[in-house]
A and B are shown apart, each in its own frame.
Chain A
Amino acid sequence: MSALLQLTALTAHYGDFQALFGVDLTLDAGQTLAIIGANGAGKTTLMRAITGIARVTGGSVVLDGQRLDRMAASDILRAGVAMVPEGRRLFPSLTVEENLRIGAYARQGGGFWTLPRIYDLFPVLRDRRNHPGTALSGGQQQMVAIGRALMSNPRVLLCDELSLGLAPVVIREIYAAFPAIRASGTAIVVVEQDIGQALKVADQVHCMMEGRITLSGAPASLGRAAIHDAYFGVRQA
């Protein structure tokens, strides 16, 4: 199986501050990958670098043979990478339905995800379609943000901290949508602080610390101790 998304020696900076130090990552078609790490490890920066919002200063991002790292964010979306940003970031002056529709702004032609299918995926949103997006609860906003990203029918969906600030029931409800998303053929990368959740959904887990990937493997193969060490920065023997 050839890689769908391939990062090679990716570095990124904020001004003079280097946030990523040569990250290598492979995502295969149909795969779900989790990235875990403490606050400030560089997970969000990695997502932003892939989607063209953070400044990539070295290395490459290749999607199915196409270089993304020099492209504008809007073109990367067109190439097939969508993101659910940290903090959801709904557009306050758009209603729920408008927030969903704008996800399809750049879309040409059809695709699996349509407005009715999003409403089927998250039925609560159907009743709230004409409310301002920011008038919903945190969990519902997260659903809108996921739906909005899906509306572009991406080949790769990046999710940054879906569980942030949500109650466990709500988190479960949101992750319940994953099988359907995967079934639509979309590969997924989730960033999570909630390690338990990450291990549950992912085929492959990467642990980040200080801008580097320090540990990778299938969830079953990773021992709790190893994850703990990679997460909190204890030197590995």
Chain B
Amino acid sequence: MIWLDTLIQGLMLGGLYALFAAGLSLVFGIMRLVNLAHGDLIVLGAYLILGIGTATGLNPFLAAALALPPMFALGWLLQTALLNRVLGEDILPPLLVTFGLSVVIQNALLMGFSADSRKLPVGPVEAQSLPLGPVNLGVMPLVTFVSAVAVIFGLNQLFYRTALGRAFRATSDDPVTAQLMGIRPDRVFAVATSIALVVATIAALYLGARANFDPATGPARLLYAFEAVIIGGLGSLWGTLAGGLVIGLAQAFGAALNPEWQILAGHLAFVAVLLVRPRGLFPRAND
């Protein structure tokens, strides 16, 4: 019974990690950019939701909806002003720029909001749970999980069913030939990063609603998210969901054995999967 409970906990946690990872996966799939500031951008989103909520008195779900446009714009700005200038054959400049950005965001948040930990007040749903046979399922974890699946599904539809998605894939395959189709890679990248930040805002909502956060929360979450993306197979969105679930399950079972082993178990699962399948669970054929 306890194991069933742990299993469900793990799946729910995995959904959260998949949400953290979805934006990363999208951006990596399209422009091979590893954004080390993604975790900090999620935390920034959480503060933005908190700020909007406090200023307007709206509940966090509505505040998050209001946070979407500014985060979309931030993504656009980030890509056009910064990242487009450093993308190229050499992987070092984009890595270092996003690393610098991570440090800047973290410390700017620290200056603005102090190191106190915060939480988004979602109200009574937080404590509600559904009886599911022998175990109880928290409503918030369930909503998180469903959102994760919905986000991944939506991104996948976008990627494989729309003209924009075709442009994403074509640019990722061959940016020079894509230009011959009238595609502007810079703009395609800007749209991709903007969408990634929209997803990050959704992730921020659940991050802030389910646990405390502070300016330094980003990096650790980022690491789990990256692990999910890598185990899933680079560029595969469903793979990223699977990767998130693997990390979540490993952490839940690790924690069930010994609370101190939670994080360690997640990392070890990451290493183990990669030792067996160096290209992840669902690698894209042409990489």
A, B bound: yes
List 15 additional A-B contacts (Cβ < 8 Å) besides A74-B181, A85-B180, A91-B170.
Answer: A72-B179, A72-B184, A78-B182, A92-B173, A92-B285, A93-B173, A94-B166, A94-B169, A94-B170, A94-B173, A105-B167, A106-B181, A106-B182, A149-B180, A152-B182
Q: Contact check: which of A52, A74, A91 meets B173 at CB < 8 Å?
A: A91
- Across the interface, which residues of A come within 8 angstroms of B179, CB to CB? 52-53, 72-74, 77
- Chain A nearest CB, measured from B89 CB (Å): 15
Stretch at the interface among A3-11, A28-36, A95-103, A185-193: A95-103
B166 A74 Cβ-Cβ under 8 A: no
- Chain B, residues 168-185, CB within 8 Å of chain A (1/0): the string is 011011101111111110
Residues of B within 8 A of A (CB): 163, 166-167, 169-170, 172-174, 176-184, 284-286
- Chain B nearest CB, measured from A46 CB (Å): 15
- Across the interface, which residues of A come within 8 angstroms of B284, CB to CB? 93
B286 A92 Cβ-Cβ under 8 A: yes
Residues in A145-167 with C-beta less than 8 Å from chain B: 148-149, 152
Known contacts A94-B166, A98-B166; is-contact A103 B172 (Cβ 8 Å): no
Residues of A within 8 A of B (CB): 51-53, 72-75, 77-78, 82-83, 85, 89, 91-94, 98, 101-103, 105-107, 134, 148-149, 152
8 cross-chain CB contacts under 8 A: A74-B182, A78-B182, A82-B180, A92-B286, A93-B173, A98-B166, A102-B170, A105-B163
A77 to B180, CA, bound (A): 6
Chain A minimum-CB-distance residue to B173: A91
Among A103, A105, A107, A134, the most chain B Cβ lie within 10 Å of the Cβ of A105
- Across the interface, which residues of B come within 8 angstroms of A91, CB to CB? 169-170, 173-174, 177-178
A102 B184 Cβ-Cβ under 8 A: no
A73 B163 Cβ-Cβ under 8 A: no
- Across the interface, which residues of A come within 8 angstroms of B183, CB to CB? 74, 102, 105-106
Chain B minimum-CB-distance residue to A92: B286
- Across the interface, which residues of B come within 8 angstroms of A107, CB to CB? 182
Known contacts A53-B176, A93-B284; is-contact A77 B181 (Cβ 8 Å): yes
A83 to B176, CA, bound (A): 12
- Across the interface, which residues of A come within 8 angstroms of B184, CB to CB? 72, 74
A72 to B183, CA, bound (A): 10
- Across the interface, which residues of B come within 8 angstroms of A74, CB to CB? 179, 181-184
- Chain A nearest CB, measured from B159 CB (Å): 10
B286 A102 Cβ-Cβ under 8 A: no
Q: Contact check: which of B169, B172, B177, B182 meets A85 at CB < 8 Å?
A: B177
- Chain A nearest CB, measured from B205 CB (Å): 32
A83 to B174, CA, bound (A): 15
B166 A73 Cβ-Cβ under 8 A: no
- Across the interface, which residues of B come within 8 angstroms of A98, CB to CB? 166, 169
Chain B minimum-CB-distance residue to A103: B181
Chain A minimum-CB-distance residue to B284: A93
A9 to B212, CA, bound (A): 67
A77 B286 Cβ-Cβ under 8 A: no
- Across the interface, which residues of B come within 8 angstroms of A51, CB to CB? 180
- Chain A nearest CB, measured from B165 CB (Å): 9
Q: Contact check: which of A92, A105, A134 meets B182 at CB < 8 Å?
A: A105
Chain A minimum-CB-distance residue to B179: A73
Q: Which 3 A-B pairs have the closest CB atoms?
A: A106-B182, A73-B179, A77-B182
- Across the interface, which residues of B come within 8 angstroms of A82, CB to CB? 180
- Across the interface, which residues of B come within 8 angstroms of A134, CB to CB? 286
- Chain B nearest CB, measured from A145 CB (Å): 10
Among A52, A92, A102, A148, the most chain B Cβ lie within 10 Å of the Cβ of A102
Q: Contact check: which of A52, A93, A149 meets B169 at CB < 8 Å?
A: A93
